[in-house]
């Protein structure tokens, strides 16, 4: 797993433990709803935490197809890279 993916995974684990009081393991293959038992409020807390940490925006459309921790990690990574590219292109 790439370094940035590890950083995103570490943040998901931190949010799960500190804000959602999850006491189990959080691994890339875990299902967000089935394995981590996140309901809509838990998913929102996780999304907002990731948005704040990585300075990105996640939408309802982003949530489509996101089932596992790995899916969420890739989404965040892609959004961060996309934002970086847009910022670089906007510079004179």
Instruction: Tell me what the mean pLDDT of segment 2-26 comes to.
Output: 96
Alpha carbons within 13 angstroms on the beta-carbon side of residue 3 total 0
pLDDT at position 1, please?
Answer: 57
Q: What is the mean pLDDT of residues 58-72?
A: 92
Our count of domains for the chain comes to 1
Q: What is the pTM of this model?
A: 0.90
CATH of the domain at 72: 1.10.1200.10
**CA 23 vs CA 15, 18, 19: distances in Å:** 11, 9, 11
Q: In the predicted model, what is the mean pLDDT of the chain?
A: 92
Angle at 54 between CA 39 and CA 40, to 5 degrees: 10
Q: Is 55 left (phi over 0), alpha (psi -120 to 50) or beta?
A: left
Domain of residue 53, residue span = 3-90
């Amino acid at each position: 797993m790439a370094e940035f993916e590890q950083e995103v995974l570490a943040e998901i684990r931190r949010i799960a433990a500190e804000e959602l009081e999850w006491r189990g393991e959080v691994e890339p293959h875990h299902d967000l709803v089935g394995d981590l038992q996140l309901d809509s409020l838990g998913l929102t807390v996780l999304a907002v935490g990731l948005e704040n940490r990585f300075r990105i925006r996640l939408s309802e459309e982003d949530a489509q197809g996101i089932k596992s921790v790995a899916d969420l990690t890739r989404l965040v990574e892609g959004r961060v890279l996309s934002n970086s590219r847009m910022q670089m292109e906007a510079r004179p």
